[in-house]
Amino acid sequence: MTTATTTTYIGTRLQRKEDPRLITGSGLFTDDVTLPGMVYVSLVRSPHAHARIRRIDTSAATKEPGVVAVLTGKDLEATGVLPVFISVPKQSTSKHMPIATDKVRYAGDAVAAVVAETRDAAKRAADAVTVDYEPLPVVVDATKALEPGAPIVNEELGTNLVFTYPVKGGDIDKAFGDAEVKVSLHLVNQRLIANAMEPRSAAAKFEAGELTLWSTTQIPHFVQLIASLNLGLSQNKVRVIAPEVGGGFGSKLQVYAEELLVGHLAKTLGRPVKWTEERREGYLATVHGRDLVGDIEVAAKRDGTILGVRIRTVANMGAYLQAFAPVSATILHAFIIPGPYIIPAFDIEIRGAYTNTTPVDAYRGAGRPEAIYAMERAIDRLADEIGMDPAEVRRKNFIPPDAFPFNTITGITYDSGNYAPALDRALAMADYKGFEKRRAESKGRGNYRGIGISSYVEICGLAPSKANSALGVGWGGYESARIRVHPTGAVQVFTGTSPHGQGHETSWSQIAADALGISPNDIEVRHGDTFESPGMGVGTFGSRSLPVGGIAVHKAAEKIREKVIQIGAHLLEASPDDVVIEGGKVFVKGVPEKAKNFGDVSMAAYVANNLPAGMEPGLEATVYYDPPNFTFPFGTHVAEVEIDGETGAVELVRYSACDDCGRQINPMIVEGQLHGGIAQGIGQALYEGAVYDDNGQLLSGSMMEYHVPTAEDVPAFKLDHTVTLTKTNPLGVKGVGEAGTIGSTPAVVNAVIDALSPLGIKHLDMPLTPEKIWRATLKSKGEGKR
Amino acid sequence: MAQAITVTVNGTKRTKDVEPSQLLVELLRDTLGLTGTHVGCDTSQCGACTVLVDGRATKSCTILAVQTDGAEVVTVEGLAKNGELHPVQRAFASEHALQCGFCTPGLMITAVDFLARNASPSDAEIRHAIEGNLCRCTGYHNIVNAIRSAAAMMTMSAQSKVAAEVKR
């Protein structure tokens, strides 16, 4: 088998193929799909967080002008429950109907759907639906939800406990018994709202027995699968298209009620149907992220050596269990808490709880930001306790480079890693050595200055299908690719990944170009249409697209390359071992003047009257790539802040990050992923937080109350990288979509706490708003009552 | 009661009947089919719907269609002239200032208006100018670079025009 060894295009800053349509306004997003005869859906949503539905009166709504149909939960019972793809041990899974039938379990739970000729008419008629609710006691806080006597959110389960998930390794009692020093922190990892800039939308048409469903989704194939099963359509009659998708960050990693609803309506009404969420509606009815509360304890020696880590955490799952929800709280969280460190003993127990709040699922990083936040805050607490430089505590506990492959205490195997160089380079960029001088200068201005470090390892490349099975994930973690070379030599790559900003059309072209010896400009990458891509694509989430989907493209291109060389050798009357492809020419090594064009060879493959003996005609290859292991990107981020001594406002004065995602296919895209991730992590540290009152009303219910960072809230970022290739895949790529979010949040919080440490402040929970900091500084000065 | 208005959109006069409650963004997207202008929120925070109204960047979800009677509106579809991209469009692509591209039209329009009033802005001025346009993908880093780069391109092109005039 010939292997492509050239990296002509891999590693270059190729301009994005996606951009020409996106900068001219010609890209098609789901809400841009408008069809003749289209009708529009508006949902009636519960104002109560927990209430029994006594009666729904739709008669007035039905009489409103332009109304086509009004549906309640009973009309949709036949479409079945919304899917949960995860089953951890003893999981109690809620029965989540597309529209509530018996009772509502969170403010925003849908109770009826109105279909009308226009958006406005549907909205007006939705206001005319009257629902008689019997309000029930509400539980919002996950810890309280697990106490005896708490209101039960899903009565059929008899409990609010979703799961108890323990992971243990080593002798934790001995670790704490031997400890010279113990530190502990109570940490709130607040609830977040993803706020992808494109609101969710779904449109459908049903023609000649075939359903076409456009959706703002990260997983079109799963939407197709569930739409087929739940709507009673043969899967070959359900085409799901994820056109341009305007960001996801996990919030579009679902099969949502509205997708099934528009499919059902298109099928039953025989008219095209569209639903697009309003942003405030999205705040209630699109999944939220994070929301973990826990205690971390670290046992260590006075020299900074960590002996053991113990964690008890409660994860708020919201009112219903969503498609992948337990994964973020359990697997992607617990297993990666040790990060880059040698942890001899480990003991974690995570409990999931139902509450009367919007359901929670993956949000950029999905479990890993929570894990690294806990560990990195604890490391800083330990450094503070023993009076040691936090950088040195990290360095002391790093897994040394000669220890790989390294089996962690949680039972996973890091194939590769080299953590100290990334730390060193990040510290150098941050001028860590010169910091104390800057701190003194800030003090002279009456301000507090702090510097914070965060070193992480993440777990990407989700996932080996066997590992998925062992962990309770009900579907394999492979990815698919099909490459079709047309007779003329035109190349199309069909990928099972479903990008929504990540630039797969560009990066996949670079990968295929190097394997095929042609230009990326001669390759078209197509995605997000279940009638074009291979039978199953798992989709885009968890920084998996490149280390799984990109490798599938690479392997499919290698198959094509092999066949082109075989045919080329036959036409050139040479041995395949001597034939190469370069610059779109197929020739015997050293004899480029006697070459066949790539297109001549593809034409020969289809003309098929002069092929090597026994070779089948055509030039097409499909690959399902199942990775043998996860990948483990790593890095160190350093944040520096200056806090206004009067107001408590945090200014991020410097941000430096050194990340290692293995080989970079397109460094420009890698940097973009890091910039965006870092900004989102800063958002969690300083600005963002979903807030409920005790009645389950979302107080941060719009962009006016929930602060998505603006250009003035984040600094310019200084980036560097190291390259440690993973041995898990032939390109050595590891994934980078979430690294920024994972590294940044703890770095920023550590910087703020470092700044406030002269006041004796040991910890504050996120978001670190000016008010929170101001109050804390007053309290520490003994002026708390002011 | 619907009323007839005449708006010049991307250089073409359009006369349409609009409802008094119709927003400019609805006229552009639903009536005129110009779907490059996006709706990202309902509280005037995100700026995805920003268009030029008589040269000024305006959130088209916050202005009624009837208010634009007689006005000149430019959307993302009208930024390129004679098949040539606007320097802001070119800079957004070359600096990788967009990922999902949903917020991009609004950000580019804001930048066009801003650069018309400030030809050589500082980074702080750029950040202030775009604080009404949210982007969740890029962390703004490359957007700031793109606007700075577009400013340089536009200054250079203006200077070469002057030089050409002087030569003549």
| Binary contact (B140, A711; C-beta < 8 A) | yes
> A258, A43 in Cβ contact below 8 A?
yes
Residue of B31, B140, B142, B148 for testing the chain A interface, max A β-carbons within 10 Å: B140
Same domain flag for B159 and B93? yes
Task: Choose among A680, A734, A728, A732: nearest CA to A708.
Answer: A680
Same domain flag for B58 and B22? yes
Same domain flag for B73 and B100? no
- At B127, which CATH number? 1.10.150.120
Task: Write out pLDDT tens, residues A234-252.
Answer: 999 999 999 999 999 999 9
Same domain flag for B74 and B92? no
Provide Rg for chain A, Cα atoms. Answer: 27
| Binary contact (A23, B34; C-beta < 8 A) | no
Cβ-based contacts of A34 with chain B (< 8 Å): 30, 33
**Domain A33-136+197-247+252-285 in CATH 3.30.960.10:** no
Domain finish residue from B78, B97, B116? B78
Q: Please indicate if any CB of chain B lies within 8 Å of the CB of A678.
A: yes
Q: How far apart are CA A688 and CA A766, in angstroms?
A: 8
Residues sharing a CB contact under 8 Å with residue A238, sequence separation 6 or more, in sequence order: A210, A211, A213, A224, A227, A228, A231, A263, A530
pLDDT of residue B163: 84
Query: A–B: how many Cβ contacts below 8 A?
Result: 176
Helix or strand (DSSP H, E) at A284 = helix A279-285
Q: What is the DSSP letter of A547?
A: I
DSSP A45-87: E-SSSSEEEEEEE-HHHHHSTTEEEEEEGGGGGGG-PPP--B-
Task: Write out pLDDT tens, residues B103-150.
Answer: 999 999 999 999 999 999 999 999 999 999 999 999 999 999 999 999
**Domain extent at residue B117:** 87-167
| Binary contact (B139, A740; C-beta < 8 A) | yes
| Binary contact (A34, B30; C-beta < 8 A) | yes
Give yes or no for a cis peptide into A715 (omega within 30° of 0).
Answer: no
Tell whether the model's pLDDT for residue A601 goes beyond 90.
yes
| Binary contact (B138, A672; C-beta < 8 A) | yes
Cβ-based contacts of B126 with chain A (< 8 Å): 711
User: Chain B neighbours among A 342-371 (CB < 8 Å)?
Assistant: none
Same domain flag for B28 and B73? yes
Pairing of strands A491-495, A523-527: parallel
Tell whether the model's pLDDT for residue A490 goes beyond 70.
yes
pLDDT of residue B125: 98
| Binary contact (B34, A18; C-beta < 8 A) | no
Cβ-based contacts of B9 with chain A (< 8 Å): none
Residues written for chain B:
168
Nearest CA in chain B to A719: B141
Domain finish residue from B61, B78, B95? B78
Check if the interface score ipTM surpasses 0.90: yes
Same domain flag for B15 and B73? yes
Same domain flag for B70 and B128? no
Helix or strand (DSSP H, E) at A110 = strand A110-116
Q: How far is CA B10 from CA A483, B28, B90, in A?
A: 40, 11, 19
Q: Which two tokens stand for residue A757?
A: 């440490």
Burial classification of residue A20, based on how many CB atoms lie within 10 Å of its CB (0-12 exposed, 13-18 middle, 19 or more buried): middle
pLDDT of residue A6: 67
Place of tokens 């940490």: A187
Q: How far apart are CA A511 and CA A668, in angstroms?
A: 15
| Binary contact (A710, B102; C-beta < 8 A) | no
Q: Please indicate if any CB of chain B lies within 8 Å of the CB of A54.
A: no
Task: Write out pLDDT tens, residues A128-181.
Answer: 999 999 999 999 999 999 999 999 999 999 999 999 999 999 999 999 999 999
Tell whether the model's pLDDT for residue A497 goes beyond 90.
yes
Q: Please indicate if any CB of chain B lies within 8 Å of the CB of A671.
A: yes
Give how many domains chain B has, as a whole number: 2
Same domain flag for B103 and B56? no
| Binary contact (A198, B40; C-beta < 8 A) | yes
Q: Please indicate if any CB of chain B lies within 8 Å of the CB of A26.
A: yes
| Binary contact (A198, B35; C-beta < 8 A) | no
Same domain flag for B97 and B65? no
pLDDT > 70: percent of chain A: 99
- At B38, which CATH number? 3.10.20.30
| Ranges in chain A annotated CATH 3.30.365.10 | 19-26+478-625, 288-462+629-780
Percent of chain A as helix, strand, coil, to the nearest 5: 35, 25, 40
Task: Write out pLDDT tens, residues A353-366.
Answer: 999 999 999 999 99
Same domain flag for B68 and B137? no
pLDDT of residue A783: 62
| Binary contact (A501, B100; C-beta < 8 A) | yes
Tell whether the model's pLDDT for residue A580 goes beyond 60.
yes
Task: Write out pLDDT tens, residues A710-765.
Answer: 999 999 999 999 999 999 999 999 999 999 999 999 999 999 999 999 999 999 99
> How far is A608 from chain B, CA to nearest CA, in Å?
42
| Binary contact (A711, B130; C-beta < 8 A) | yes
Tell whether the model's pLDDT for residue A512 goes beyond 50.
yes
Domain finish residue from B78, B102, B120? B78
Largest CA-CA distance found in chain A, in angstroms, rounded: 91
Residues written for chain A:
786
Q: How far apart are CA A575 and CA A512, in angstroms?
A: 24
Q: How far apart are CA A580 and CA A597, in angstroms?
A: 12
Nearest-CB residue to B127 (from A18, A194, A712)? A712
- Mean pLDDT (chain A) is 97
> B91, B149 in Cβ contact below 8 A?
yes
Same domain flag for B71 and B103? no
Architecture of the domain made up of A288-462+629-780: 2-Layer Sandwich (3.30)
| Binary contact (B99, A244; C-beta < 8 A) | no
| Binary contact (A247, B102; C-beta < 8 A) | yes
Burial classification of residue A1, based on how many CB atoms lie within 10 Å of its CB (0-12 exposed, 13-18 middle, 19 or more buried): exposed
Nearest-CB residue to B127 (from A16, A677, A711)? A711
Pairing of strands A634-643, A448-457: antiparallel
Residue of A13, A18, A24 for testing the chain B interface, max B β-carbons within 10 Å: A24
Provide Rg for chain B, Cα atoms. Answer: 17
Task: Write out pLDDT tens, residues A427-483.
Answer: 999 999 999 999 999 999 999 999 999 999 999 999 999 999 999 999 999 999 999
> How far is A22 from chain B, CA to nearest CA, in Å?
6
Nearest-CB residue to B139 (from A194, A278, A676)? A676
| Binary contact (B40, A717; C-beta < 8 A) | no
Write out the CATH class of domain A19-26+478-625.
alpha beta
Same domain flag for B102 and B31? no
Task: Choose among A398, A340, A339: nearest CA to A367.
Answer: A339
Cβ-based contacts of B79 with chain A (< 8 Å): 24
> A221, A166 in Cβ contact below 8 A?
no
User: Chain B neighbours among A 681-740 (CB < 8 Å)?
Assistant: 702-704, 708, 710-712, 714, 716-717, 740
